[in-house]
Amino acid sequence: MIKLGVNVDHVATIRQARGTRFPDPVLLAALAEGAGAESITVHLREDRRHIQERDVKILLQTIETRLNLEMAATGEMVSLACQFKPADCCLVPERREELTTEGGLDVKGHMDHLIRVVERLSRSQIRVSLFIDPELEQIEAARAVGARVVEFHTGRYAEAATPETRRQELEKIKRAVQQAREKGVTVHAGHGLAYHNVQAIAAIDGIEELNIGHAIVARALAVGMDRAVRDMLEAMRLGYQARLSGIRP
């Protein structure tokens, strides 16, 4: 079964809006694990707009699965990751003014720097993934800098305005998954995935894990985190069954 990583950043977004101690992403992460999440993702941004260092430290002490730490490839963040030693680090592009990550990392344009970053994280026994657009040149660059995992940016698929554009973006992702697998790279995917569009991504042969946050946290406000995670897992299961049967969802 394809795995689900739950991103709890936006639990912290609500907390930081009032500067209180609640809602606590640590608690919601535990509930997500109890409902079947196989990893917890947090993005420690340079401006600390939601997740704080305290959250990362406590999650590492309390979660039962894996912590996937998303971060920019800066000296400060790499040093913190080497101190924290999460199971996984996903390097992402980051701009202060953006609401959320807007695209994939330009690995090809920053290879020398990323080689050093990947080497340093790997020496700390951290598995490194790169958040990239589903493009062959970025896949080849990711492999060249030593990343064992890529996470494909699914935002253009998720935000497509027409069925035809969505189909085209889905085909790009499918081709990219095949290319990555041929090069021996493990494939994850995420960004913009929700209950109405996740099945087609979960149906792609070769994707091992999806990282989803906003849609799950939004539904949790209405039905609770346990139900929100289980509903997403069910949507993914339907897509995965379609993968096994060869039927397009």
10, 33, 43, 209: which is the annotated catalytic residue?
43
Query: Active site includes 110?
Result: no
Residue that the structure tokens 């997403």 belong to = 232
Query: Active site includes 70?
Result: yes
**Neighbouring C-beta atoms of residue 211, cutoff 10 Å:** 24
Closest CA to 103 of 170, 42, 191: 191
70, 94, 135, 209: which is the annotated catalytic residue?
70
Tokens matching residue 25: 């992403």
33, 188, 191, 209: which is the annotated catalytic residue?
191
Phi (first) and psi of residue 111, to 5 degrees: -65, -45
**Neighbouring C-beta atoms of residue 164, cutoff 10 Å:** 9
Tokens matching residue 99: 């609401």
DSSP H or E segment with residue 60: helix 53-62
Phi (first) and psi of residue 190, to 5 degrees: 175, 165
Tokens matching residue 102: 């807007």
Query: Active site includes 214?
Result: no
Closest CA to 220 of 53, 7, 73: 7
Q: Which residues are catalytic?
A: 43, 70, 191
